[in-house]
């Protein structure tokens, strides 16, 4: 499989191919977050870091997000940095030429990993990250400060860090950039309930070559992050008829941009992430 080798070819804000319209879901997020009390990044790190947590994912209509914020609103705070409450993210995912990490997820292995660099587009902050899924379903994220110019590579300064968390599954030297994802995110915090909710809109994927896929508008990817995975938000979403979905941005992006077999997520991809 070929790898990503060039910087993003398109400016942020372009809409689905052929639409001619910029995506608008980020503006919906901004309106929802405007009336919530802010929380600073320092407060977020101090009070609800949740580097070890249980994640639940939901692909919901924007109207369901409205209900969630309205119901939990008095106890919710929204992350604010330099006056911003909705932020641009760009992630580069690394895998082997035969997609070993993707296949670990596709085969449902209990212990699996994702390796990525992440750019926080509004601040320029860049991180190298290894996300590990443990045998009991918990997610642990390990992070290392990185440089923006090194988004597309893991040089010698990061190999030991990544290798220590992969433990030889696979070798760091075999990793190549295979997927770029971009989206806009609002982060909500329910401190009393030990809960964080990330709300991702305007999601798009860029694979090797010219393949770029933009997710249909009107739907947002929610991730609830809590110690046990049974938070007030999870209960409320289920009462609204929403069920958590078996998908990750990395696996969905690889499947959508390369056409590789993804039977495990076929229903989710067809129902939520492709245009009828």
In a domain? residue 9: no
Could you give the CA distance from residue 189 to residue 76 in angstroms, rounded to a whole number?
6
Q: According to the model, what pLDDT value does residue 263 have? A: 83
pTM: 0.85
Number of domains observed in the structure of the chain: 1
Percent of the chain exceeding pLDDT 90 equals 55
Residue range 234-261: mean pLDDT, rounded? 90
In a domain? residue 27: no
Q: How confident is the model at residue 169 (pLDDT cuts 50, 70, 90)?
A: confident
The secondary structure of 144-189, three-state, reads EECCHHHCCCCCHHHHHHHHHHHCCCCCHHHCEEEEEEEEEEEEEE
User: Directed axis angle between helix 25-33 and helix 62-72, to 10°?
Assistant: 10
In a domain? residue 31: no
In a domain? residue 156: yes
Residue range 141-167: mean pLDDT, rounded? 94
In a domain? residue 197: yes
Residue range 242-250: mean pLDDT, rounded? 88
**Cα-to-chain-centroid distance, residue 57:** 10
In a domain? residue 14: no
Could you give the CA distance from residue 127 to residue 144 in angstroms, rounded to a whole number?
6
Least confident of 8-12, 30-34, 200-204: 8-12
Could you give the CA distance from residue 102 to residue 252 in angstroms, rounded to a whole number?
10
Residue range 194-218: mean pLDDT, rounded? 88
Q: According to the model, what pLDDT value does residue 13 have? A: 39
Going by their DSSP bridges, the two strands 219-226 and 195-206 should be labelled as antiparallel
In a domain? residue 53: yes
In a domain? residue 126: yes
**pLDDT tens readout for residues 100-111:** 999 999 888 888
Domain containing 129 equals 48-272
Whichever domain contains 165, its CATH number is 3.20.100.30
């Amino acid at each position: 499989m070929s790898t990503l080798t060039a910087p993003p070819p398109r400016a942020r804000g372009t809409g689905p191919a052929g639409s001619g319209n910029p995506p608008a879901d980020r503006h919906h997020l901004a309106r929802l977050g405007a009336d919530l009390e802010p929380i600073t990044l320092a407060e977020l790190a101090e009070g609800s870091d949740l580097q070890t947590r249980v994640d639940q994912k939901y692909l919901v209509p924007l109207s369901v997000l409205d209900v969630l914020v309205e119901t939990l609103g008095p106890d919710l705070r929204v992350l604010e940095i330099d006056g911003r409450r909705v932020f641009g993210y760009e992630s580069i995912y690394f895998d082997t030429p035969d997609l070993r990490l993707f296949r670990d997820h596709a085969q449902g292995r209990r212990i699996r990993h994702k390796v990525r660099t992440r750019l926080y587009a509004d601040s320029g902050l860049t991180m190298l990250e290894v996300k590990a899924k443990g045998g009991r379903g918990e997610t642990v994220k390990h992070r290392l400060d990185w440089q923006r110019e090194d988004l597309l590579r893991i040089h010698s300064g990061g190999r030991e860090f990544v290798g220590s968390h992969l433990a030889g599954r696979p070798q760091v030297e075999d990793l190549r950039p295979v997927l770029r994802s971009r989206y806009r995110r609002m982060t909500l915090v329910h401190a009393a309930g030990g809960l964080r909710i990330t709300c991702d809109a305007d999601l798009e994927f860029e694979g090797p070559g010219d393949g770029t896929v933009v997710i249909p508008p009107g739907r947002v990817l929610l991730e609830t992050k809590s110690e046990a995975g049974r938070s007030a938000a999870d209960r409320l979403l289920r009462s609204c008829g929403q069920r958590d979905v078996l998908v990750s941005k990395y696996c969905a992006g690889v499947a959508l941009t390369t056409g590789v077999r993804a039977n495990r997520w076929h229903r989710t991809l067809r129902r939520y992430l492709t245009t009828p």
